[in-house]
Structure 1
């Protein structure tokens, strides 16, 4: 998913990191995903300069030999049994932080089992934390090594560009596909061009999104898009399919194929000319979570709908819910209107987020591991790369969590490793605050996560 010129990748938090050079070795992942997930994540070296270029995973490491605080160069004891009294004290301190307001919902749980301490009842607006549910559902539906395709076909004099919902397709990929298509056309030098994005059904824009989000936070959701359909820096296309077809027409011309007229919507027909396979679903999910990419999250959600037989917005969110139920996750109280979290009508109970994160971290579910390994690392990468400052600095490298931000809404959900090396699932959801208080709330959430990371909450 690396374009020729690194763009400024989108995030739901405009003042978050867009990409400072970082080289990391997140060994702390070992305790988060278990031995079965090691082949996906352990020992990965990641670096970012506007985007992430994942490297092939090394041989699986022995998690018994990995210190959960190796990132900070600290020595810790082996993970232990949770200390209920210590966790209750941490929760009291969280609740006592006035910056988090009166509507805080919070839960702390081990990697297996019910939450040990909670605060608040009912569901809350999740914002981009919704992407965790979408990621787990699409991984369960297809598996982490699935690659979606973009292809071309020929019937008569018409070449059709067929979108397969590849969220990783770049301008460079499209140019390569055009070159291969031109070679397959042989002596044919003039064609008409159609494009087929019918894999996804229904409207391209979600009716529950605020109009102010369109073009700035997200664009049209189709099965054919190039370079994510845009970015926050350049703006998102309301019709990525047409944009891709126009770009493909220019690429064909570059390789000696003239296109008569304008590209038009059509259907896949005739013989196949060329195929491009995108990045693995694992890579796409990890990127989507790390950089909170709304456009990619919505494409992934539509794929869950495709797998279930209905690829509209409503069909996709229903399919996500059904997939979570199939994983034995209690979905009572869940309301989903989209897959990215831009919809303010979404409602997720904190306990459901706990169960989803626990399921993704289970050694019995290695196919779901990218939903954990893709979570931003505090102070290091993704939408947390410039967070965890001042009092929260001790949490850097010890917290891996998904951010969520809308006006008056802020959340942080993931895993924190306590001072004894024991991982805890932590879900924090705050809302009802004034926009001017957003940065204070964000700092308070970082402090709350750090209070778990620095706590001797296990014995």
Structure 2
């Protein structure tokens, strides 16, 4: 999401609410579970806690109780063979839509194999669909059940708060860590406080971002942040590490520990006092994709860099690219400058997004399943909850896709289920349009996705 002041249209990260639920949604979820998560029961995001309200699924669906075996029994029709002529007709209609401008790149593919129909060549500015690549890479690097830790250590009379890059850390968690630390300190009631965020290195602000992004749509990227690096007023922090240490100081005081002076930057040393283990990577990835959270995406990208021994912006993007290659994805034409998609220097070919989504949907890659379960659902939840209106309303519940929005850039990449129940990977990328045309472009992208969902594109 690019900063807008004042916003002229809904941002990519709206206040989330549940849209109208259609009766086809269980089939959509069933198909995606069968394709993407044979080793997982389909669970929705319960990552949000503390400062962010949870978004539970509607009660009648009982999503958390669904298992792959149960899903298989509910399916009444097997996915059909793609109809090339029908898909070509859908693509022609999208290309003729003048709202999408002259620089549209698109691809439609089955869950396995090359795209069946395409439009345009080369790469496009992706905006936040970049988060799909970041999410796949971090899951491949660490696995979906990995939890990152925040710890405290004691050396002499100095307690050090050590950031482990836990993007899920909340004020409540920090208070709990302070209570555990105070208990371990025993009779010691006065300490100095330091903080260590050295897990991530290099600049905390990407040189590929436009001026004004930090504090507007993202905080500096550090390994120590609380409540997504946001201030109490809801803005983004310039120095989230210092803010976290200041908050921890207040939490220690609440639990009877006096801290002399203001927390200073230091290094992990001495003996470990206490540890907080964050939410699972699966939960964090699902939340990041659902809400298109720039901050969390950048933290996840840095972890990919950590796994490769280069936790900088450049090191992380190179590591993401290398991980995709290791997954067998052709990365020709890929240019990455960050993990969130805020950079306008990013370039992604539609076919690469197709291959990445196919990898996440593969039953042979269950570790990547959270990418599929985290994609927003049209008209229901996430960054698509307020979209798919008017002519696109029939696509509600049949489309699960990641959005991408910058001024003059709008993308959708995900899955659409046709009338026969066959899932297709659909990537639509439009850029070089005028700012005032943004809402029209979004509607046109929704209409194009709905055209696949309402098409008998398989037999």
When normalised by structure 1's length, the TM-score is 0.92
Assess if the C-alpha contact under 8 Å between 1:26 and 1:45 holds in 2.
no
CA contact (8 A) 1:138 1:301 kept: yes
Cα distance in 1 for residues equivalent to 2:372 and 2:232: 25
The answer to whether the aligner puts 1:271 opposite 2:271 as a matched pair is yes
Q: What is aligned with 2:72? A: 64
2:3 matched residue in structure 1: none
Asked whether 1:14 is paired with 2:22, we answer: no
Which string of whole-angstrom CA distances, capped at 9 and with x for unpartnered residues, describes residues 142-198 of structure 1? 000000000000000000000000000000000000000000000000000000000
CA distance in 1, matches of 2:376, 2:26: 11
Match of 2:441 in 1: 441
Once the 2 structures are TM-superposed, how far is the Cα of residue 19 of structure 1 from its aligned partner? 2.2
Query: In 2 relative to 1, CA 122–234 (structure 1 residues): closer, same or farther, beyond 3 Å?
Result: same
Answer yes or no: is 1:52 the counterpart of 2:49: no
CA distance in 2: counterparts of 1:374 and 1:348, whole angstroms: 21
Return 5+ residue gaps in structure 2 as ranges. 1-8, 58-62
- The 1:249–1:231 alpha-carbon spacing in structure 2 relative to 1, beyond 3 Å, is closer
- Deviation, 1:57, is 3.8
**1:238 shift after superposition:** 1.2
Determine helix, strand or coil for the equivalent of 1:355. Answer: helix
CA distance in 1, matches of 2:82, 2:195: 56
C-alpha change, 1:51 and 1:114, in structure 2 (3 Å) is farther
Shift of 1:351: 0.3
Match of 2:399 in 1: 399
Secondary structure class of the residue paired with 2:223: coil
After TM superposition, list the pairs within 5 Å mapping 1:176-255 onto structure 2. Answer: 176-230=176-230, 234-255=234-255
Q: How far apart, CA to CA, are the structure 2 residues paired with 1:174 and 1:137?
A: 28
Give, in whole Å, the separation in 1 of the partners of 2:293 and 2:162: 23
- Provide Cα deviations, 1:372-411, integer angstroms capped at 9, x if missing partner: 1100000000000000000000000000000000010000
Paired with 1:407 and 1:338, the residues of 2 have a C-alpha distance of: 17
Instruction: Give yes or no for contact 1:286–1:373 (8 Å, CA) kept in 2.
Output: yes
1:227 Cα deviation after fit: 0.1
Are the aligned partners of 2:16 and 2:383 in contact in 1 as well (CA < 8 Å)? no
User: In structure 1, what is the equivalent of residue 317 of structure 2?
Assistant: 317
Quick one: structure 1 residues 80 and 411, their matched pair in 2 at CA, closer, same or farther if it must change by over 3 Å? same
Q: 1:17 to 1:47 in 2, by over 3 A?
A: farther
Distance in 2 of aligned mates of 1:46 and 1:112: 30
Matched ranges for 1:342-357 at <5 A: 342-357=342-357
SS at 2:315's partner residue?
A: helix
C-alpha RMSD over aligned residues:
2.2
May I ask how many residue pairs the two structures share in their alignment? 440
**1: CA distance, partners of 2:438 / 2:300:** 29
Contact 1:16/1:385, CA 8 A, preserved across alignment = no
- For 1:199 and 1:114, locate their aligned partners in 2 and report how far apart those are by CA, in whole Å: 39
2:322 and 2:230 map into 1 onto residues whose CA distance is: 31
2: CA distance between counterparts of 1:377 and 1:117? 24
Query: Matches of 1:191 and 1:47 in 2, distance apart?
Result: 33
Q: Does the CA-based 8 Å contact 2:112-2:358 persist in structure 1? A: yes
Which runs of 5 or more structure 1 residues have no equivalent in the other structure?
Answer: 1-11, 68-75
Q: Shift of the alpha carbon at 1:214?
A: 1.7
